[in-house]
Structure 1
Amino acid sequence: MLCSLLLSAMLGTVAAPAAKAQQFPIPGRPVTLIYGFPAGTSGDVYLRLAAPRLSAALGVPVTVENRVGATGNVAAEAVSRAPADGHTVALVTVSLTATNPLLLRMSFDPMRDLAPVMRTFDAPNAFTVSTQARPQYTNCQAVISALRAAPGRLNYASSGIGASTHLAAAQFLQATGLEAQHVPYRGGPPAMIALYQGEVEFFFYQSGTVVEDMRAGRVRILGITSAERHPQLPDVPTVAEACNLPGFVSTTWHGLMVPSATPPAAIARLNQEFLKINADPEMQARLLNLGLTPLNSNPAEMLAATQRDIQHWGEVIRRAGLQRE
């Protein structure tokens, strides 16, 4: 019963009659793609690659807007309160629906107030260390040995309490039975600076964001948190391989959501156009080069993935003893 109610709400089947009859796209009205994280991060890069393609397909202007704050909540809430006409779209991470409700006091309900369009790409996290500040960390086992020798005394970074970068590290520590001090920063870039400067031992960050740093020699990626090696990073093992943790997976997918009363026809059109964008060979090559994996998805698949991740991350949060702020 609960699943059917969630599906109905998220698919926007209880739309107002006027909204159902509304044309999409509305000629001359721009589409705004809103993202809750800074410029240069994986989702921002994706949207800026997708925007001109979507504009050409829909025949209306498409802009990208960054509204940073509260692990994506600020952007998602703004979209939830926007007109339900398909012209305001949020790119969210799995954190919005699977972890934020467990960790943050929210003034809206993403499962009620937003409807899924599709998952757009999967972004595995990268187990990252500094090549200059920690040259001794040549592999995962070296980090494990250091943590074991100083239980609870070494630091690791995250982009914020409850962010995917925090929970991936928490999952790693739970899987290895080790302890370390969590140091949350206000976003990924400050955490990366702390990593460069040796303030922390390691940082689980989205591979699409750190791959250029790896290629420039500033960081070493000890492992990727996906189930398989990424085709553009064939020499980088998975964390499961590198750390001898069979079955270890911790990825951060991104997906599109719209206000819950958005007409199903508008949702279907957005899904159709983004599927085409993801299938474009140039787009696929750009994403894969960034360590990202484009996804073929639909609203029902995104909902099912969300429900799986609510269970998975809920258990990680419980074991980590994290409380709602």
Structure 2
Amino acid sequence: SMTGTQMQHVIYKETSMLYTGVANGELNFALGSLATAGPMMRAGKIKFLAVTAPKRHPAFPDVPTVAESGGPANYELTGWTTIAAPKGVPKAVADKIQKDVEAALAEPDVKERYAAFGYDSFPTTPQLFNAFVAAESAKYKDVIRRADVALD
């Protein structure tokens, strides 16, 4: 929506089929993650045009940012994953899970694997994460409204 680009959303049963569609010319391009499209790029089947982050990713240093490719300077699109527990979980349990996850993410082999997939971990507090989710929700609510996106 920042560039006025018109696209059609094409649904594929599997992500690998999406990138095969790009590789064989069935699609002009696809939006994807470094983790899911990286193997096809490394195999020389597809080319990354840009990363949707404010700076180049260390795992793919030759891939420019959207801004470096001539796109909007403030373009940023990231995906994120979280571990969630039922509302009302005891604080001691939530704290233990968070501490254990942070310890696992700090392990050298986990950090190495994350880097290879193009993932960055960002351990945070529940309060900071809630603020992050609120900001992401507000950002995408506006994008959805401007693009007139609707669920069929």
Q: TM-score, normalised by structure 2?
A: 0.92
2:133 to 292, 303, 306: 306
Per the TM alignment, residue 177 of structure 1 is displaced from its structure 2 partner at its CA by 1.8
Aligned AA (1:203): A
Quote how far apart the aligned CAs of 1:233 are: 1.3
SS at match of 1:253: coil
User: Which whole-Å deviations, capped at 9, do the CAs of 1:102-128 have from their partners, x for residues lacking one?
Assistant: xxxxxxxxxxxxxxxxxxxxxxxxxxx
Residue 273 of structure 1 corresponds to 100
| Structure 1 counterpart of 2:77 | 250
Q: Does the 8 A contact of 1:208 with 1:292 survive in 2? A: yes
The residue aligned with 1:231 is 58
The 5 A counterparts of 1:287-306 are 287-306=114-133
Encode CA deviations 1:189-227: one digit per residue, 9 max, x unaligned: 332232223221111101111112111101101111111
Q: Does the CA contact (< 8 Å) of 2:19 and 2:46 recur in 1?
A: no
Alpha-carbon offset, residue 187 of structure 1:
4.2
Distance in 2 (CA, whole Å) between partners of 1:207 and 1:260 is 32
Which amino acid in 1 is paired with 2:22? L
Report the secondary structure of 1:276's partner residue.
Answer: helix
SS, match of residue 30 in structure 2: strand
Counterpart-to-counterpart distance in 2, 1:274 and 1:180: 38
Three-state SS of the structure 2 residue aligned to 1:205 is: coil
Instruction: Please report how far the alpha carbon of residue 243 of structure 1 lies from its aligned counterpart in structure 2 after TM superposition.
Output: 2.9
Instruction: Give the counterpart of 2:43 among 189, 198, 216.
Output: 216
Which contiguous aligned blocks of 4+ residues in structure 1 show a shift greater than 6 angstroms? none
CA distance in 2, matches of 1:177, 1:204: 16
Larger relative contact order (Cα-Cα within 8 Å, sequence gap ≥ 6): 1
For 2:60 and 2:18, the matched residues in 1 are separated by 23
Letter of the 1:301 counterpart: L
More strand by share: 1
Equivalent residues, number: 152
Which residue, 241, 247, 252 being the options, matches 2:68?
241
Would you say 1:188 and 2:12 are equivalent positions? Answer: no
- The one-character-per-residue Cα deviations of 1:11-63 (angstroms, maximum 9, x if unpaired) are xxxxxxxxxxxxxxxxxxxxxxxxxxxxxxxxxxxxxxxxxxxxxxxxxxxxx
User: What is the alpha-carbon distance in structure 2 between the residues aligned to residue 243 and residue 206 of structure 1?
Assistant: 20
Please, which runs of 5 or more residues in structure 2 have no aligned partner?
Answer: none
1:206 matches 2:33: yes
| Identity fraction in percent | 28
1:20 matched residue in structure 2: none
Contact 1:255-1:302 at 8 Å conserved across structures? no
User: Where does 1:92-131 land on structure 2 (aligned, <5 Å)?
Assistant: none
Q: Is the 8 A contact 1:232 1:291 kept in 2?
A: yes
Is structure 2 residue 123 aligned with structure 1 residue 324? no
C-alpha RMSD of matched pairs (Å): 1.5
Q: Deviations over 1:100-154 (max 9, x none)?
A: xxxxxxxxxxxxxxxxxxxxxxxxxxxxxxxxxxxxxxxxxxxxxxxxxxxxxxx
Secondary structure at 1:221 match in 2: coil
Kindly tell me: are residues 189 and 207 of structure 1, through their superposed partners in 2, closer, same or farther at Cα, counting changes over 3 Å? same
- Structure 1: any 5+ residue segments left out of the alignment? 1-173
For 2:36 and 2:150, the matched residues in 1 are separated by 28
Partner SS, residue 84 of structure 2? strand
Change beyond 3 A, Cα 1:256–1:206:
same
User: Superposed, which structure 2 residues align to 1:125-204 within 5 Å?
Assistant: 174-204=1-31
